Amino acid sequence: MKRVVWPLIVTMAIQALVSMAVFTPPVLAPVAHGDIGFPAAWIGILTAITFGAATFGALFSGGIIARTGALRMSQFSLVLCGAGIALISTANAWLVALGALTMGLGYGHVTPASSAILAERTPERIRSFIFSLKQTGVPIGGALAGAIVPALIVMSEWRTSAVIVGLACGVLALAIQPYRASVDLAHHFRRPVKPASLMEPLRIVLGHPRLREMGFASSTYSGMQACLSTYMVVYLTQRIGFSVQVAGAALATAMTAGVLGRIAWGVLADNGFRPRPLLGVIGLGMSAGALLTAGFNGAWPLAAIFTVSAVYGATAIGWNGVYLSEVARIAPPGKAAAATGASLAMTYAGVVVLPMMFWAIVALSGSFAAAFIAVGCITLWRASYFFRRA
């Protein structure tokens, strides 16, 4: 266990900070949209750009990491995410789009790189728990964005807040440099990246019926997760009338519940609860969270809104660990890493499609409630597949 403590701390810190950078634009949107010149609901387009780039980053990460080293790639990802959020602070529409693209290119490499670091150092008996713990860095980053960025906006203004988040990414990239000697420099990275091999992981997943089913399910679940993290603050400020600080606290509540959910669902899956039905139950929970969120109005007690946010977060943000462990279990022998990478690309594809659909519904109907109902129904349909006989 001692051998894995520092790698776990380092990878969690990296995952949390790049996630904070990616989740910061939705928190900034209610106050930044006037300076940029677009409605706040257009934040869904930025999310689509970010995760569209992340999809390609995840697909191609294996060969690049084999060439450069996992920690060096993590440092590069931190720099890209920091630069991306700094570009967004310019408030120039074209540079904002470029910033979202830059963040996505960085974000797509982080999970494969951190998995490569931990895989070599984690004993088999605790691997699922350690990997689930590492993945809590994502909702931790979201919680940090929801809790800290609104406070930074109050103390300064939104542009300065974005720059501070970007600088934090750069500081961490420098801080982990001494650790690189024990991670990357112990290997010789001279493996060529062959273009023909880059699509092989995707062929493995699409050619395997159960992996294909898991991949499409992850697209839907991740899209639901993205709609929560992208639109919750905008929805609560523009439709319910909350301040950015209170709306950010609701998002932080959802993200914190997601941290606990990732751990709790993983423990249940390791202790007698079959993963497929469990993923179905989680899907039902996130659908209920979206449908209840659609019903929010000014008459709802604050405690009720925060409770729904917690349930929504525990499910829509907490499903990933169970999903990834099931993908590794059913993957062909020796293909777990490739299957995971391709599945992650399908996951990110969902983060592109559903927020764009959500935005289109809001743009056409003017109703956030209709958009939450739509994604809730889609997720409910996808969750039903997990209750069918495999």
pLDDT (tens digit, 9 = 90+) per residue, 238-259? 889 999 889 989 998 998 999 8
**Residue whose C-alpha is closest to residue 320's, from 202, 222, 216:** 222
pLDDT, position 92: 92
The Cα 342–Cα 49 span in angstroms is 19
Residue 378 burial (CB < 10 Å; 0-12/13-18/19+)?
middle
Contacts made by residues 159-163, CB under 8 angstroms, sequence distance 24+: 159/32, 159/35, 159/89, 159/90, 159/91, 160/89, 161/24, 161/28, 162/24, 162/28, 162/85, 162/86, 162/88, 162/89, 163/85, 163/86, 163/89
| Residue segments in the chain with a per-residue pLDDT below the cut of 50 | 188
Q: Which pTM value belongs to this model?
A: 0.78
pLDDT, position 188: 47
Length of the chain: 390
pLDDT, position 105: 92
Cα separation of the two ends of the chain: 36
Q: Which two tokens stand for residue 124?
A: 């088999």
pLDDT, position 193: 54
CB 40 within 8 A of CB 30: yes
Per-residue DSSP letters for 68-95?
A: H-HHHHHHHHHHHHHHHHHHHTT--HHH
pLDDT, position 6: 85
Distances (CA, A) of 88 to 170, 265, 379, 385: 16, 35, 31, 39
The full set of domains in the chain, from first to last, is: 2-387 (1.20.1250.20)
Phi-psi region of 64 (alpha: psi -120 to 50; beta: other; left: phi over 0): alpha
The Cα 287–Cα 280 span in angstroms is 11
CB 82 within 8 A of CB 168: yes
Distances (CA, A) of 210 to 54, 214, 216, 318: 24, 6, 10, 21
pLDDT, position 43: 79
Residue 268 burial (CB < 10 Å; 0-12/13-18/19+)?
middle
